[in-house]
Amino acid sequence: MQLPLHQVDAFADAVFAGNPAAVVPLERWLPDTLMQAIAAENNLAETAFTVPAGDAWELRWFTPAVEVDLCGHATLAAAWVLANRVAPGRPTYRFLTRRAGELTVDVEGDLLTLDFPARPAVPATPHPGLATALGAVPRAVLRAGANLLAVFETAEEVIALAPRFADLPGPEGLSVIATAPGRDGVDFVSRYFAPALGIDEDPVTGSAHCTLVPYWAARLGRDRLEARQVSRRGGALSCRLAGDRVRMTGRVAPYLEGRITVPDG
């Protein structure tokens, strides 16, 4: 069986930046084991699978190791593929997900805007060994679901982090968002570490901004924020807190189109 596959760089103005994602448009769902095997073979942070559902699409995301409940950059990628290759001409693309509810992506020229649920963090007891694993002591630690939010004083501290991934972040398998105030027109910076999900460091993480945007909106007293994820590849997001939703705008750069050959599902 052959399937179409698209690889694009999300939250990027050009290829080789942002976060690469694979998108596999399907007519019907494949067995979970086969989709997981495809994601492992792609070896990207996420592979998104879509299936038509009336005037919307069902959407699922897989890392090379597990299925995840929410992924921003691969949703942006899926919307770009639908808008440019599968079903062009719509101003909005609706996605039905199993654990994150309905998500939408608005398309205006080359700008795509995600509408995601906000996931505010609450103060948490510092996780044992977190500072040692990160290689620096955060000024504050909060938690939102399976993510710890480690807040630092400066962008330079976040950029300089060299985590010991084997020690992050203990037996609970939590992921870690590291953040600090930005500079030069950027309101805040971040990095995202998720070794328990099979991703030591994610280049640009839309879902992490569901927590970052509420935190920084409250701290800075503004609902519109410019963000930059300061991974090696890096990526920029224009964000807005809209009640209990987070809107994130970015661009997508196409990289690869082809077909994959897999066992019949």
DSSP-assigned letter for residue 195: G
pTM above 0.85, yes or no: yes
**Cα(first)–Cα(last) distance of the chain, in Å?**
8
Q: Is a pLDDT exceeding 80 seen at residue 84? A: yes
Contact 112, 251 (CB under 8 A): yes
Instruction: Read off the pLDDT of each residue in 69-87 and give the average, rounded to a whole number.
Output: 97
Residue-wise pLDDT for 153-163, tens only, equals 999 999 999 99
Domain ranges of the chain: 2-117+249-261, 122-239
Instruction: Read off the pLDDT of each residue in 32-47 and give the average, rounded to a whole number.
Output: 97
Instruction: Read off the pLDDT of each residue in 223-236 and give the average, rounded to a whole number.
Output: 95
Which residues have CB under 8 Å from 21's CB, separation 6+?
7, 8, 9, 10, 44, 45, 46, 47, 48, 71, 73, 74, 76, 77, 78
46 counts as catalytic? yes
Class of domain 2-117+249-261: alpha beta
Q: Given this model, what pLDDT does residue 186 score?
A: 98
Instruction: Read off the pLDDT of each residue in 136-151 and give the average, rounded to a whole number.
Output: 95
Give SS3 for 175: strand
Half-sphere exposure of residue 139: CA atoms within 13 angstroms, side-chain side: 10
Q: Which CATH architecture has domain 122-239?
A: Roll (3.10)
Instruction: Read off the pLDDT of each residue in 127-155 and give the average, rounded to a whole number.
Output: 93
* Active-site choice (27, 41, 46, 226): 46
Q: Is a pLDDT exceeding 90 seen at residue 173? A: no
Q: Is a pLDDT exceeding 70 seen at residue 170? A: no
Q: Given this model, what pLDDT does residue 44 score?
A: 95
Q: Given this model, what pLDDT does residue 53 score?
A: 98
Q: Is a pLDDT exceeding 90 seen at residue 167? A: no
- The phi and psi torsions of 70 (rounded to 5 degrees) equal -160, 135
**Identical fold, 2-117+249-261 and 122-239:** yes
Q: What is the mean pLDDT of the chain?
A: 95
Q: Is a pLDDT exceeding 90 seen at residue 71? A: yes
Q: Given this model, what pLDDT does residue 169 score?
A: 75
Residue-wise pLDDT for 177-193, tens only, equals 999 999 999 999 999 99
Token pair 């600090």 is at which residue?
Answer: 180
Residue 91 CA: distances (Å) to CA of 104, 147, 254: 10, 32, 19
Tokens of 230: 């300061």
Instruction: Read off the pLDDT of each residue in 232-254 and give the average, rounded to a whole number.
Output: 96
Q: Indicate the pLDDT class of residue 171, thresholds 50, 70 and 90.
A: low
